[in-house]
Structure 1
Amino acid sequence: MANDGLSAGAAARRLGVAVTTLRTWHQRYGLGPSRHEPGHHRRYTVEDMVRLQVMQRLTAQGVAPAEAAAWARRSPGPEPDATTATDAAPASDSPAPASGASAPPSGSASGSSARASGSLAPGDSADPALRAAAAAARESILALVESGAMIADVGLGDGRAGGGQTIALGPRVDPAARGLARAAMRLDGPSMRYILESAVTHRGVISAWTNVMMPVLIGIGERYEATKRFVEVEHLLSRAITEALSIVPRPPRELAPRVLLAAADEEQHTLPLEALAAALAENGVPSRLLGARVPSRALVDAVDRTGPAVVVLWSQLPGTGNVAQLGCLMALPHPPLVIAAAGPGWPLADLPPTVTPLSGLAEAVRVVSSAIA
């Protein structure tokens, strides 16, 4: 960044947001440019950019903008002492100033005074997870600044793609899912991976899948059904989920996989199987994942060669849930101990009694793990 700071347009490009977003953050939350020379527009300094990126990182995780801004205004200044950190009053979500008015920059005298009084710092009621997220965002971004590597890929992507394009998730959805939905609609791959990998690492695969990934996937699916748009959002999100699930360490190669996972013939959806493979790995159970559109003959050949104890066949759509595929496995001279039908595409009433229906990821992990114990 040049020594004289960045213009609003340059700062917006660096962060990957619209200039109007910067204006909103300036007017409503006091996160504006602090460098000013008479006769020139204000410029964003390195410290200003750090604050803005903390704001981005926290809102990506579903933190309310007012609270995220309160944390951002504390960066990258000196760490508060114990009294300030514990006795500060909660941040207020005050309305935006009148049009044309701007909140004092955090580096100004009035901003320092407010910070000293505690009005800009979240109080004791702040979620410990929020405190940790803010600290992590602050430290990682400061490290980038100090190394001269102020990169834009930790931001929220191009805010101009938002424009009323939202995903309805419901009032009680996990905050991380809200952050993921925002990043997805802005086609911001780095933020999606950050949120997803954090969820997988700190919550585990089952919780991350159930509470963070699935609500957003369902929401995007519903938006597509209503508008026939946003295929690009679903594709990028799916890729980010695949990458996040791949960070789960796999069992040692010495353990021979006794579980075979496959999508039914003509079935192209595989994310649920990828989640199952990762959740099993998390529990020390190796598996083979054949992927999408596995013909019956190929499935039978794979079972014949590897002799798995468990086969899970996934069907997402009714058109791919052909019970005859399961019959091919049952007709083998030495069929698997457990043949499981997973996914909403299977006609439950028509499943043979020897086929185990699976209704969710947690149940699938429990059934599969028990079968090979």
Structure 2
Amino acid sequence: MTYTPRAVAGMLGISPTTLRTWDHRYGLGPSGRTEGGHRRYEQADVQVLRRMVVLTGQGVAAAAAAVLARQEPAPRASTPIGDDGSRRAQRTFLAAAERLDEPVMLDLAAKLIADHGVVSAWDSVFVPCLVRLGEQVAATGQGVEVEHMASGSVVQTLRDVPRANGPGPLAALLSCAPDEQHVLALEALGAALSEVDCQWRGLGARVPADALRDAVTRLRPAVVLIWAHRPDLAEQVPLTELGTLSIAVAGPGWEGLPLPPFVHRPASLTDAVRLVLDHV
């Protein structure tokens, strides 16, 4: 996909004159050409310009910003939390949940993601804590408010991960099965995709089959992933009617169900992210 100078200026919120100046003075111009010889900006060119806009907006001199903008941003580190760190974080999070101390849960969740990345925080702390709180509710019938506030804190923190907003292909469309209301795992996958600069869209909970088919037709994502936590919900998904795109399913609802050979079933959040990256 390529873009005209006018389209790029509009995307970045700068004037065409500024775009031409950056091209002439700093070499931040389009690298592609049409068959007729017209220069066109490619996606990589736009990403460089987007960094240029951010840097100059932060007060960096244009010449220095142009040098920095050409440098690829360092990939976001994702480091294991470790058993001791995981246990400490779980104790802190669970204690805050019991007190209904939302600020502490939000601060801890944000720090875990900032220090270790979404996948590590999800696997090592968020999932064990939420599973334990859910088991307590199931066993005693009490503590629903604790579980809801804890899961809400995790959702809010995941949604705070900056989304990729530049031009480029839609990597993934994330959807719940019809009548499925559990969206937390999809929020985690979306945040993890944002960390690796993948464009994604989420349809949320209880997506009717017709709505899912329409969204797939309109958006044409590289991967469609549908979550279901019960088999009766998973069976409502029209897998064979979603076209020839790469389709994936996740959640315990798919266990034991026969799946078409073209359907992927990632076993973990890491596998789901890798699946999307492989298809972009």
TM class by shorter chain equals: 0.5 to 0.7
Aligned pairs (5 A) from 1:1-373: 174-322=87-235, 324-329=237-242, 332=243, 335-336=244-245, 338-372=246-280
The match for 1:96 is: none
The match for 1:94 is: none
The match for 1:158 is: none
Partners of 1:175 and 1:200 in 2: CA distance: 15
Given that 1:323 and 1:351 are in contact with CA atoms closer than 8 Å, whether structure 2 keeps it comes out as: no
Partner SS for 1:278:
helix
Q: CA deviation at 1:254?
A: 2.1
Could you give the per-residue CA deviations for residues 76-115 of structure 1, whole angstroms, max 9, x where no partner exists? xxxxxxxxxxxxxxxxxxxxxxxxxxxxxxxxxxxxxxxx
Q: CA deviation at 1:328?
A: 2.5
- Which structure has the larger Rg? 1
Q: Structure 1 residues 234, 364: CA separation in 2 closer, same or farther (over 3 Å shift)?
A: same
Task: Let me know the Cα RMSD of the aligned residues.
Answer: 1.8
Given that 2:178 and 2:236 are in contact with CA atoms closer than 8 Å, whether structure 1 keeps it comes out as: no
Partners of 1:242 and 1:298 in 2: CA distance: 24
Q: Which residue identity lines up with residue 312 of structure 1 in the other structure?
A: L
Given that 1:348 and 1:357 are in contact with CA atoms closer than 8 Å, whether structure 2 keeps it comes out as: no
Q: Which residue identity lines up with residue 272 of structure 2 in the other structure?
A: A
Q: CA deviation at 1:306?
A: 0.8
TM-score normalised to structure 2 length: 0.67
Partner SS for 1:358:
coil
- Structure number with the higher helix fraction is 2
Q: Which residue identity lines up with residue 197 of structure 1 in the other structure?
A: A
TM-score normalised to structure 1 length: 0.51
Partners of 1:174 and 1:208 in 2: CA distance: 12
Structure 2 regions of 5+ residues with no counterpart? 1-82
Given that 1:260 and 1:310 are in contact with CA atoms closer than 8 Å, whether structure 2 keeps it comes out as: yes
Given that 1:323 and 1:346 are in contact with CA atoms closer than 8 Å, whether structure 2 keeps it comes out as: no
Partners of 1:278 and 1:324 in 2: CA distance: 24
- Structure number with the higher strand fraction is 2
Structure 1 regions of 5+ residues with no counterpart? 1-169
Q: Which residue identity lines up with residue 225 of structure 1 in the other structure?
A: A
Partner SS for 2:170:
coil
Given that 1:258 and 1:308 are in contact with CA atoms closer than 8 Å, whether structure 2 keeps it comes out as: yes
Q: CA deviation at 1:172?
A: 9.4
Q: Which residue identity lines up with residue 370 of structure 1 in the other structure?
A: D
Q: Which residue identity lines up with residue 313 of structure 1 in the other structure?
A: I
- Quick one: percent identity of the two aligned structures? 42
Could you give the per-residue CA deviations for residues 203-225 of structure 1, whole angstroms, max 9, x where no partner exists? 10000000110001100111111
Given that 1:251 and 1:281 are in contact with CA atoms closer than 8 Å, whether structure 2 keeps it comes out as: yes
Partner SS for 2:197:
coil
Q: Which residue identity lines up with residue 261 of structure 1 in the other structure?
A: L
